[in-house]
Structure 1
Amino acid sequence: FYPGKNLGAYGEGGAVVTNDAVVARRVRLLRDHGSEQKYRHEVIGYNFRLEGLQGAVLGVKLKHLDDWNALRRAHASRYAELLCEVESGGALALPREMPYAEHVYHLYVVRTDARDALQHALHEAGVQTGIHYPVPVHLQPAYAAHGHKVGDFPEAERQALSILSLPMFPELTREQIERVAETIKRSVLGSQLTASV
């Protein structure tokens, strides 16, 4: 329930859903200092109990989640409509929705081999973008003991260098989406960005 997610709390929070009684018990133990009974700790646990304020905020927001997700989907459709020409030219790859799932577009992530140039052009036009997860997992210090190096997972590395998150939130206006798309088109046509998708 990170505040920037589709269903965000006022602060940090999370939930676990399972139909496995063993997993459910283990999660309950871990969330409350390893304790099911006050002052009796069976395992080393954590303080992961959701505060009442966070629950109250989530309770109010949950009622709006379907509408917010529908707006995000509409915004994604508009981006796709406006950027299809750029995508068909090979300069940009847009997110795809698979037939077996309904995308809720927490982020709208595009790919281009000229990511930095495109991000700069959007920044110059006053459009905020993001580079989410710029370092592949296998190159993170936490996984150094596995001995992976640059080149071991070339597709993950390529993605990390080419992805760019465009503005995406329920309150995004049609005009804002059009401005983002026009800036991308100008940047692509002006500098002949190319992407291998």
Structure 2
Amino acid sequence: MQFRDLKAQYQEYKAKIDSAIQEVLLNANFIGGKDVGELESQLADYVGVKHCISCANGTEAMTLVAMAWGIKEGDAVFVPDFTFFSTGEIVSFEGATPIFVDVDRGTFNLDTAKLEKAIQKTIAEGKLTPKVIIPVDLFGLPANFPEIEKVAKKYNLWVLEDGAQGFGGNINGRRACSFGEAATTSFFPAKPLGCYGDGGAVFTNNDKLAQLIKSLKVHGKGDNKYDNVRIGVNSRLDTIQAAILKVKLKAFIDHELEDVNRIYRLYNERLKGVVEIPVIPDGFYSSFAQYTIKLKDKEQRDGLQTRLKEQGIPSMIYYIKPMHKQGAFADLEFDENNYEVTNELCDVVLSLPMHPYLSEEDVDAVCDAIKAYIL
């Protein structure tokens, strides 16, 4: 059993993927080929925004937006405490200060009440200037953007949606990566829409921001790549990866998104009342980058993971350490009382095998093993 079965997906679409790769090889247009532009157009149409700018990876996508917005030393950027390191990393990389905010225990996403308190505290202290909120669509579920955008408007802050795990999710039909002034995603292989290497993208409706990011991602180019009007980076999506993603995007839209939600319903039916199952609020739809349960305590979680491993069932812990406890942020000051939920989640969460090609028999095997251990 695979945690996320990329081999099964490849076998299903082998002929189309091989053909797409072969066409790129035959044309020998490896950087900036037509597939890149076509993919960007298809992604923008799917998400429902004017612009999609592809780049090297999801971290670079957020970095490009931060560069374009001029985020700098003295700025405060509000980030969930329960997420992957890169969301806070890009803030410090630009010289700004990440302000970590606790999350909602049910959804794992940014707690909007605690977000507003963190903004108010930062303003009252007067040491930093609040600039940006970076909500994360954790495990495939969009963050509470209706409330987050109200808070952002109240305090005149930009919102950058980190949709690295959320591509395909939606809130009342509005798709992930369409929220805020800009949004980003990742095409890391294990993501809901993944390529066969690294890749990422920025989404926005802002024409000027889109043009600036297109410049920044190619060494700050002007009219051409030898006319450099600003300091930029080298952050491009390879043509081969774009060709692969075009095939995968069609599969994602045609059936994969619904298939992972079918697996989610199967898990829920079998595990309800046994462990704490994922919470999907009314009107929200998840792309289920992960199916994550909560156990009673760390001892039970770790014991269950060991038992599953003994039976050949893979599982993962996202995340074993909160952002505010990462060594890279040791120079910042934190009050542990502000992170009660995140501290608990790091001890009790466990993610189970989840992908569109998971069989009902595999789901039964996972759930039977969990029940045998818990009950």
Change (3 A) 1:68 1:46: same
1:94-126: per-residue Cα shift (whole Å, max 9, x none)?
112111211111100111122101111111111
Q: C-alpha distance in 1, partners of 2:238/2:323? A: 31
Structure 1 contact 131–164 (Cα < 8 Å) conserved? yes
- The 3-state SS of whatever aligns with 2:285 is coil
Identity percentage of aligned residues: 35
Deviating more after overlay: 99-108 vs 173-182: 99-108
Q: Which residue of 2 aligns with 1:131?
A: 317
The match for 2:277 is: 94
Q: Which residue of 1 aligns with 2:306?
A: 120
2:266 is matched with 78
Q: What is residue 17 of structure 1 aligned with on the other side?
A: 203
> After the TM superposition, which segments of 4 or more aligned residues of structure 1 sit over 4 Å from their partners?
149-152
The structure richer in strand per residue is 2
1:139·1:150 contact (CA, 8 Å) conserved in 2? no
- What is the alpha-carbon root mean square deviation over aligned residues? 1.5
Structure 1 gaps of 5+ residues are 87-91, 190-197
Q: 2:225 aligns to what?
A: 38
- Distance change (3 Å), C-alpha of 1:76 and 1:17: same
Find the counterpart in structure 2 of residue 182 from structure 1.
368
Q: Indicate the larger mover: 5-14 or 32-41.
A: 32-41
Task: Give deviations 1:148-196, integer Å, cap 9, x for gaps.
Answer: 265541211111111111000111111100000000000002xxxxxxx
Q: For the Cα contact (< 8 Å) 1:115–1:163, is it kept in 2?
A: yes
In terms of mean alpha carbon deviation, does 35-44 or 122-131 score higher?
35-44
- Counterpart for residue 252 of structure 2: 65
TM-score, normalisation: structure 1: 0.87
Give me the whole-angstrom Cα distance separating, in 2, the residues matched to 1:94 and 1:172: 18
By how many angstroms is 1:141 displaced?
2.6
State the Cα deviation string for residues 81-104 of structure 1 (Å, max 9, x = none): 011131xxxxx2111211121111
TM-score by length of 2: 0.47
**CA deviation vs aligned residue, 1:62-93 (integer Å, no higher than 9, x gap):** 1110211111000010000011131xxxxx21
